[in-house]
């Protein structure tokens, strides 16, 4: 596939002339799950149905008990989790109290990480991630724990007997997943008193953790290529989200993301990017120009550069999905599979989920891979669309999102190539 060689080839993108793109989606990714109703109670609290919360906590009780006997910080951590669970299931509490409790919980989690012996780290990360998925689902705090769990899986792969190329890919997967942890932690720190509020990165981090577990269990070459590109892509998504969030540490965040996300992608896998551009050119000769032109705008930082870069990235993503997953073929395949339509069709047309599922159908572990791809691309498109309305100061953030877009396209290329070989 030509996706394993790292070279320092020429990378200067050629200038192009093009008009402003209008990148509007032609489809949706299904509806968002409804928020459970809760019974309003006058005064401070609005009490929800907590049965799911406590069922989830009971499911993790054995693991928490085992860890509490072995790790000194765990009893305090469990107590801190109980202190915030009312807020996380929908009960209104004073903002100052919520901020103190959530920051205290994050401090206890960090302490638990530091004190947990290495041989128990997987159990500790799994326990805290699963518990937070119950009491703080979709929050910045839960997103950070999922990022840590994904990095643990990606860093725990034992590639004995594999090729040098395989070792390099697995090292990349571990390296960028750890970078994603650091960026996710900074996002959680930045949110402060709203750390338990919904965080846009949470679904993508949770999905990547699931796929990293698949990669750990089945480190074959296609999965390793996808894992390496996915880890870099999700780091780009986190980096872009961190920069677009602003804050007083914005200059430091810009420097970090540029040095650790954007430059390694541009300077590193040169052949990977050349192969990607060649492949896109085979689909539509306009697609490589759109990507190259976006990088020219990043470098030149001219008028409306943010809008141009974001528009080009969305256009390339959408058009690539339509080319590799033609509507008629996708619908015929979907009917033949006899799978449920939920989340797969919208107004009788394939959603992004179904198109990605079709593109990745021959890659092992495809369900977890598709979930990771769908959630990452959905969040990526959302961030790119939002960037169109941002100021020029966020250009570095959009550059990180462009890295994420190219990484996502590389993964789609692997899936398409696997299907072509099979057929």
What confidence score (pLDDT) does residue 91 get?
Answer: 45
For the chain, domain boundaries:
44-137, 166-422
**pLDDT value, residue 96:** 45
Q: Determine if the pTM surpasses 0.75.
A: no
Which pLDDT belongs to residue 409? 92
Q: Supply the pLDDT for residue 115.
A: 82
pLDDT at site 65 = 55
pLDDT the model gives residue 261: 92
CA–CA separation, 218 and 116 (whole Å): 27
Q: Which residues of the chain have pLDDT under 70?
A: 1-103, 158-162, 192-199, 218, 269-270, 341, 364-366, 369, 390-393, 419-423
Query: Do residues 192 and 99 lie in contact, with contact meaning Cβ atoms separated by under 8 Å?
Result: yes
pLDDT of residue 102: 63
Per-residue pLDDT tens for 210-244? 888 877 776 778 778 888 888 999 999 899 888 88
pLDDT computed for residue 76 by the predictor: 56
Q: For the chain, how long is the longest CA-to-CA vector?
A: 66
């Amino acid at each position: 596939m030509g996706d394993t060689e790292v070279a320092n080839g020429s990378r200067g993108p050629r200038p192009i002339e093009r008009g402003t793109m209008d990148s509007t989606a032609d489809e949706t990714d299904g509806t968002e799950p409804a928020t459970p109703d809760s019974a309003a109670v006058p005064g401070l609290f609005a009490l929800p149905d907590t049965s799911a919360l406590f069922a989830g906590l009971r499911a993790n009780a054995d693991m928490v008990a085992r860890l509490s006997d072995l790790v000194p910080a765990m009893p305090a951590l469990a107590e801190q989790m109980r202190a915030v669970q009312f807020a996380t299931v929908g009960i209104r509490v004073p903002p100052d109290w919520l901020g103190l409790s959530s920051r205290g919980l994050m401090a206890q989690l960090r302490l638990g990480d530091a004190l947990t012996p290495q041989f128990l780290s997987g159990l500790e990360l799994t326990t805290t991630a699963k518990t937070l998925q119950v009491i703080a689902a979709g929050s910045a705090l839960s997103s950070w724990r999922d990022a840590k769990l994904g990095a643990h899986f990606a860093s725990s792969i034992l590639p004995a007997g594999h090729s040098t190329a395989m070792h390099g890919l697995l090292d990349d997967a571990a390296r960028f997943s750890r970078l994603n942890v650091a960026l996710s932690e900074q996002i959680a720190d930045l949110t402060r008193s709203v750390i338990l509020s919904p965080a846009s990165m949470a679904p993508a981090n949770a999905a990547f953790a699931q796929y990293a577990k698949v990669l750990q269990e089945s480190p074959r070459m296609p999965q390793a290529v996808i894992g390496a590109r996915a880890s870099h892509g999700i780091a780009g998504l986190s980096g872009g989200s961190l920069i677009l969030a602003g804050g007083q540490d914005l200059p430091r965040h810009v420097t970090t993301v540029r040095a650790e996300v954007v430059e390694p992608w541009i300077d590193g896998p040169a052949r990977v990017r050349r192969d990607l551009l060649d492949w896109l050119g085979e689909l539509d000769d306009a697609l490589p120009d759109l990507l190259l032109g976006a990088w020219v705008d990043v470098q030149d930082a001219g008028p409306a550069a943010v809008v141009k870069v974001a528009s080009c990235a969305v256009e390339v993503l959408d058009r690539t999905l339509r080319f590799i997953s033609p509507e008629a073929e996708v619908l015929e395949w979907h009917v033949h599979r006899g799978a449920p339509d939920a989340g797969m069709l919208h107004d009788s047309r394939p959603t992004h989920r179904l198109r990605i599922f079709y593109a990745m159908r021959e890659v092992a572990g495809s369900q977890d891979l598709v979930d990771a791809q769908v959630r990452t691309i959905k969040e990526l498109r959302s961030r790119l669309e939002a960037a169109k309305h941002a100021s020029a100061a966020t250009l570095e953030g959009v550059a990180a999102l462009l890295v994420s877009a190219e990484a996502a396209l590389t993964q789609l290329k692997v899936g398409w190539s696997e299907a072509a070989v099979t057929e």
